[in-house]
């Protein structure tokens, strides 16, 4: 018997390469004719588990022997190996997982892996990563994309498919790219990592279509073994199994049911129909009528438009005529109501983002529109409420409120009487439309641009529609039958129904007052339903119309909706862990006034396990200021600070049995660079940079508290011991930055003599001021650890830099005051010195005196801004600074938080800075106002001050 030598690594790789080449070529050819196209994934290797293990062993052996370049002829096993790593890794650090399972792997070879994936894309029509994440992570996006659906994201996809299942249509299931786009829009409430996965909408669509294909049904989008493997993974967990099963059942029900196609695509009519993103206008009678807009949740509009979404999240919006601005993120929550102080001007957009870019405001202007004037008609719903009828038609026997411009003449009908309304720019009239109108009344109504509908009413019936204005506009959720009734007091023979241009004739049962029918399978979008009642000889007896909106099922935000007993809102929405606890985000809790609720704060690790959980009792409503106090007590709790740096996410849960339940999940975020701190038993801290970037170009600058503007370059790859006073560490790799204030060692810190930070300035130029401001921004913009001493050191450095700017701009006399202030136990003792140092002329002394006597009235930032604006404006004009309404705010920022001026529009900042350097009295006045109000304020007030 002849012995057989075991195959060498090279032979094994050759074997696998040839087999995979044949397999993937076959797959590519089979999918070549698909429309829309269907890419090939490296995970679709279809190797059995035993074979796969042999392949993995061969690849590991190969990597431990030679550089990858040695295997360039047998590259396919390596691509499969990398994709398998992507399938199994637990969402944290791909390369860490890779290297831990691959002996002697070196990071220098990462780019070779990417090159081979690119080759896979070229040779086999392989999938190509897309989306913002793929642009950022140019290497790992390849193996992770080719892993199709990593295990740790499978549960999320099952849940998303389940929640979206009401919106499935046969067309959508056959169109993976569109399905992917729709699913991505619905994923906004999911974890950041899953949202990143969803950015690759084509991939999401293909995976979803394959998963929904049904058990034992072949799918053209994934090979059967790959699909079976993912389904098996999904079904290991009960809840995920239930979700997938239910979603598949829904898909199975709709498959084969063809609809008329996209309403939006088919519409050739240029008339804009109302959409789901338009506001709903209504009147409510308080003492008089008041007008309100219920604003839409624009989260879906922001999906797929990251820049637009980030502006919605971070910027305040104004409503045309609104009595109050919408706070940042306010357009990302459903149900916001705004009262109109003035009626909106139809020549202006209804919504605008303050300081938003043109493109974002154009989207808002196109997508959020109120109906055109000159009249706006509201149908009374019982007493005290009237809802806009966008079609502007009145029905005999009903009551309406009509709004129109001050100068318009009301319809000259006897049942129209003026009524009071608390909105400027319009008059209101109550229309008590009689059951029968004479010809003259009809013509007066029509002359005003309104229409009269009589003898026919089209209305939803059977189930309560998700929205119904009582006349002309109705909304259902996708997947629900649109059940309608046509009621008439005439004797029609049939009804001619026109839905999006398609005509249907329905027989009217003699003697019945109402014709009932349903529309099934209306696609998501807005549709026009026109009805003509036909009598004998097809003579038209009456007609009417209805606008039907079908919208995707909405998902409850985790913070709850306006209709629930307890609501939790964060501004900005979906804050990161750092934003939440560094006080860059504010939480408010709304609920029944005066009741108590339980607040739970849980810090979790990367796998979702609870590291620590704290309980607080809060009284609702909890305003932003109350939140800051609560957050402080949480941060000060050692259980929290001990777990904070290791935490990957945090959940806030507010609950009261039977009343409400709301949560907020904050993640560390998928940060390319991140700091981790470990504290030894004696309090010493070691800082480690977690580098998830693809390249090896990461740099690290360290700034000591005592020399806060001097960067010391360090090795980013090596952990380092943090000085007892902490410091600032900034790691940079391309666009990715991780800036952190470092934790202190309180044990040593208490024994140290406290030397002040040294901040030197070289000249009194604008450039030097900007340099200092940038230094200030570096410190105040860095993430804080859960360490109160570190926050104190940050404040010390910030004050020192601000003082240096004060000395630089304010001049020597003012500089002396700054030095006194630095040593003062109580800054209030130096108020006279500050007042005296503002200026020497009588005009300057008068200015200083006015400020001094106003300080106690300016303890809130908004009071300070308004008061200082009034006081300084004449002096600005006197110095030739006109036409710059933001100048007072700029001065206060420069005086109090100079780092913030680095975010100012550069050209304007440069101009203003030059002006200030020419007229330092302006700066001294601002600095006096800021330091003076801080001296009189409590600690909370100082934190919120300029």
Partner 1 sequence: MNVTELTAQDASAVAVATLGLDAEAIGLTSPEGLATSLRRAASFMCPTSPGRLVDAVLGALKPLHDGDLQRDELVDVLDQLVASGDLLELRHESGRSTRLLYLAPPSYIERVPGTYLLMGVRPFGAPLIEDELAEAIEYEGHTRILTVDPTGADGELRSRGLQRVPKDRWVASPRAESPAEFIARHRARLDVIAEAGQLDGLVLLDPASKVRYYRGRWRAPDPADSGDFVARRPQAYGADLWCLIRFQAGAPQHLLEFPVDDPVVPGRDEAWRYQAADDALRGTPQRFRLRRGLSPNADVTVDFFSPLPGFAERYVQFSGLPLGKTPGVLFSFRLHAEAVDDVTTFLTDMLWMTYEEDSSGD
From first CA to last CA, the distance across the chain in angstroms is: 90
Cα 940–Cα 942–Cα 946 angle in degrees, nearest 5: 130
User: With binding defined as CB under 8 A, does residue 65 bind partner 1?
Assistant: no
State which residue, 105 or 600, has the beta carbon closest to partner 1. 600
State which residue, 301 or 817, has the beta carbon closest to partner 1. 301
What residues from 145 to 164 belong to the interface with partner 1 (CB under 8 A)? Answer: 162
Q: How far is the CB of 476 from partner 1 (least distance, A)?
A: 9
User: With binding defined as CB under 8 A, does residue 42 bind partner 1?
Assistant: no
Q: How far is the CB of 331 from partner 1 (least distance, A)?
A: 18
Calpha distance 14→188 (Å, rounded): 45
By CB under 8 A, which span of 361-369, 517-525, 893-901, 902-910 interacts with partner 1?
Answer: 517-525
Place of tokens 């010391």: 712
By CB under 8 A, which span of 68-76, 651-659, 760-768, 780-788 interacts with partner 1?
Answer: 651-659
User: With binding defined as CB under 8 A, does residue 274 bind partner 1?
Assistant: no
Calpha distance 397→432 (Å, rounded): 7
Calpha distance 599→653 (Å, rounded): 6
Residue 795, token pair as written in the block: 């404040």
What residues from 551 to 590 belong to the interface with partner 1 (CB under 8 A)? Answer: 553-556, 561-566
By CB under 8 A, which span of 21-29, 364-372, 547-555, 905-913 interacts with partner 1?
Answer: 547-555
State which residue, 25 or 466, has the beta carbon closest to partner 1. 466
538 burial level (CB within 10 Å; 0-12, 13-18, 19+): exposed
Cα 171–Cα 175–Cα 180 angle in degrees, nearest 5: 120
Residue 246, token pair as written in the block: 């239910």
User: With binding defined as CB under 8 A, does residue 615 bind partner 1?
Assistant: no
What character string, x for contact with partner 1 (CB under 8 A) and - otherwise, covers 298-337? ---------------------------------------x
Q: Which residues of 169-202 are buried (b: 16+ CB within 10 A; e: fewer)?
A: bbbbbebbbbbbbbbbbbbbbbbbbbbbbbbbbb
State which residue, 486 or 916, has the beta carbon closest to partner 1. 486
What residues from 163 to 222 belong to the interface with partner 1 (CB under 8 A)? Answer: none
570 with 332: CB under 8 angstroms? no
What character string, x for contact with partner 1 (CB under 8 A) and - otherwise, covers 467-506? xx-x------x--xx-x-x-x---------x-x--x-x-x
What residues from 435 to 464 belong to the interface with partner 1 (CB under 8 A)? Answer: 459-464
User: With binding defined as CB under 8 A, does residue 594 bind partner 1?
Assistant: yes
Calpha distance 615→446 (Å, rounded): 63
Calpha distance 415→431 (Å, rounded): 6
324 burial level (CB within 10 Å; 0-12, 13-18, 19+): exposed
Place of tokens 């506009």: 473
What's the DSSP call for residue 342? B
State which residue, 35 or 657, has the beta carbon closest to partner 1. 657
Place of tokens 């459903």: 334
State which residue, 245 or 584, has the beta carbon closest to partner 1. 245
Place of tokens 């940060």: 671
CA distances from 832 to 378, 809, 849, 851, 937 (A): 61, 20, 10, 12, 17
Q: How far is the CB of 206 from partner 1 (least distance, A)?
A: 25
Contacting partner 1 (CB under 8 A), which of 137, 243, 400, 928? Answer: 243
**In 347-422, which ranges are continuous DSSP H helix?**
358-367
User: With binding defined as CB under 8 A, does residue 465 bind partner 1?
Assistant: yes
What residues from 520 to 539 belong to the interface with partner 1 (CB under 8 A)? Answer: 520-523
Nearest to 924 by CA among 813, 827, 820, 824: 813
Q: How far is the CB of 554 from partner 1 (least distance, A)?
A: 4
Determine the size of the site formed for partner 1 (CB under 8 A): 72
State which residue, 462 or 874, has the beta carbon closest to partner 1. 462
Q: How far is the CB of 422 from partner 1 (least distance, A)?
A: 10
768 with 761: CB under 8 angstroms? yes
State which residue, 163 or 793, has the beta carbon closest to partner 1. 163
User: With binding defined as CB under 8 A, does residue 898 bind partner 1?
Assistant: no
What residues from 373 to 392 belong to the interface with partner 1 (CB under 8 A)? Answer: 381-385
**Region for 521 from its dihedrals, namely left if φ exceeds 0, alpha if ψ lies in -120 to 50, beta otherwise:** left
User: With binding defined as CB under 8 A, does residue 98 bind partner 1?
Assistant: no
User: With binding defined as CB under 8 A, does residue 726 bind partner 1?
Assistant: no
State which residue, 25 or 554, has the beta carbon closest to partner 1. 554
């Amino acid at each position: 018997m002849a012995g057989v030598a075991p195959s060498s690594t090279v032979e094994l790789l050759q074997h696998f390469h040839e087999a995979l080449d044949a397999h993937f070529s076959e797959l590519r050819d089979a999918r070549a004719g698909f429309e829309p196209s269907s890419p090939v994934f490296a995970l679709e290797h279809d190797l059995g588990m035993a074979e796969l293990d042999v392949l993995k062993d061969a690849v590991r052996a190969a990597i431990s022997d030679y550089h990858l370049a040695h295997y360039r002829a047998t590259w396919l096993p390596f691509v499969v190996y990398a994709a398998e790593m992507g399938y199994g890794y637990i969402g944290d650090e791909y390369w860490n997982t890779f290297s831990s399972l691959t002996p002697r792997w070196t990071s220098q070879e990462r780019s070779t892996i990417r090159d081979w994936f690119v080759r896979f894309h070229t040779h086999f029509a392989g999938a190509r990563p897309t989306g913002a994440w793929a642009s950022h992570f140019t290497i790992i996006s390849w193996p992770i994309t080719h892993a199709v659906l990593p295990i740790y994201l499978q549960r999320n996809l099952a849940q998303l498919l389940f929640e979206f299942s009401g919106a499935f249509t046969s067309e959508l299931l056959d169109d993976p790219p569109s399905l992917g786009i729709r699913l991505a829009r619905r994923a906004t409430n999911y974890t950041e990592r899953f949202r990143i996965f969803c950015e690759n909408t084509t991939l999401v669509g293909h995976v979803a279509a394959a998963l929904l294909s049904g058990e034992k049904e072949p799918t053209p989008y994934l090979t059967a073994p790959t699909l079976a493997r993912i389904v098996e993974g999904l079904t290991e967990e009960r809840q995920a199994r239930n979700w997938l099963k239910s979603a598949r059942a829904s898909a199975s029900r709709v498959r084969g049911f063809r609809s008329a196609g996209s309403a939006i695509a088919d519409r050739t009519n240029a008339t804009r129909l109302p959409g789901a993103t338009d506001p709903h206008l209504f009147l409510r009678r308080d003492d008089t009528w008041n007008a309100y807009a219920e604003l839409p949740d624009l989260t879906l509009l922001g999906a797929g438009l990251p820049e637009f979404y980030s502006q919605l999240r971070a910027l305040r919006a104004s409503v045309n005529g609104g009595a109050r601005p919408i706070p940042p993120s306010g357009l990302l929550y459903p149900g916001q109501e705004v009262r109109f102080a003035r009626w909106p001007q139809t020549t202006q957009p209804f919504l605008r983002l303050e300081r938003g870019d043109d493109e974002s405001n154009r989207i808002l202007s196109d997508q959020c529109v109120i109906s055109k004037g000159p009249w706006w008609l509201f149908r009374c719903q019982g007493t005290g409420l009237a809802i806009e009828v966008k079609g502007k038609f009145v029905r005999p026997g009903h009551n309406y409120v009509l709004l129109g411009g001050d100068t318009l003449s009301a319809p000259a009908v006897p049942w129209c009487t003026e009524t009071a309304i608390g909105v400027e720019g319009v008059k209101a009239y109550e229309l008590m439309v009689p059951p029968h109108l004479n010809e003259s009344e009809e013509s007066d109504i029509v002359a005003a641009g309104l229409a009269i509908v009589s003898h026919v009413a089209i209305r939803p019936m059977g189930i309560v529609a998700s929205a119904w204005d009582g006349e002309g506009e109705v909304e259902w959720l996708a997947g629900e039958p649109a059940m309608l009734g046509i009621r008439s007091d005439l004797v029609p023979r049939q009804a001619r129904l026109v839905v999006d241009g398609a005509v249907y004739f329905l027989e009217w049962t003699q003697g019945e007052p109402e014709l009932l029918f349903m529309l099934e399978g209306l696609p998501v979008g807005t549709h026009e339903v026109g009805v003509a009642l036909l009598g004998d000889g097809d003579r038209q007896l009456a007609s009417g119309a209805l606008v039907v909106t079908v919208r995707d099922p909405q998902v409850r935000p985790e913070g709850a909706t306006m209709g629930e007993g307890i609501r939790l809102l964060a501004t900005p929405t979906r804050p990161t862990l750092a934003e939440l606890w560094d006080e860059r985000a504010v939480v408010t809790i709304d609920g029944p006034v005066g009741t108590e609720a339980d607040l739970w704060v849980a810090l979790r690790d990367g796998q979702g396990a609870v590291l620590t959980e704290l309980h607080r009792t809060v009284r609702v409503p909890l305003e932003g200021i109350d939140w800051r106090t609560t957050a402080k007590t949480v941060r000060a709790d050692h259980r929290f600070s001990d777990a904070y740096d290791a935490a990957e996410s945090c959940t806030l849960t507010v609950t009261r049995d039977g009343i409400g339940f709301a949560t907020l999940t904050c993640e560390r975020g998928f940060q390319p660079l991140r700091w981790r701190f470990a504290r030894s038993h004696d309090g010493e801290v070691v800082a480690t940079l977690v580098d998830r970037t693809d390249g090896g170009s990461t740099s690290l600058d360290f700034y000591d508290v005592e020399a806060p503007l001097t960067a010391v370059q360090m090795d980013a790859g090596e952990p380092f011991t943090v000085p007892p006073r902490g410091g600032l560490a900034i790691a940079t790799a391309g666009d990715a930055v991780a800036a952190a204030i470092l934790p202190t060692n309180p044990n040593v810190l208490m024994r140290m003599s406290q030397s002040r930070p040294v901040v030197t300035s070289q000249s009194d130029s604008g450039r030097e001021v900007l340099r200092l401001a940038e230094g200030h921004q570096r410190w105040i913009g860095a993430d804080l650890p859960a360490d109160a001493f570190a926050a104190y050191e940050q404040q010390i450095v910030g004050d020192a830099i601000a003082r240096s700017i004060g000395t630089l701009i304010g001049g020597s006399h003012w500089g002396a005051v700054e030095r006194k202030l630095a040593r003062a136990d109580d800054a209030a003792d130096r108020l006279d010195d500050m007042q005296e140092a503002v200026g020497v002329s009588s005009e300057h002394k008068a200015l200083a005196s006015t400020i001094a006597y106003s300080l106690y009235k300016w303890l809130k930032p908004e009071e300070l801004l308004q008061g200082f604006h009034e006081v300084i404006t004449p002096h600005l004009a006197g110095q030739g600074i006109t036409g710059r309404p933001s100048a007072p705010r700029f001065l206060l920022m420069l005086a109090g938080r100079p780092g913030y001026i680095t975010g100012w529009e550069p050209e304007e900042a440069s101009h203003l800075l030059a002006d200030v350097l020419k007229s330092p009295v302006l700066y001294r006045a601002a600095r006096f106002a800021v330091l003076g109000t801080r001296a009189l304020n409590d600690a909370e007030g100082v934190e919120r001050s300029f």
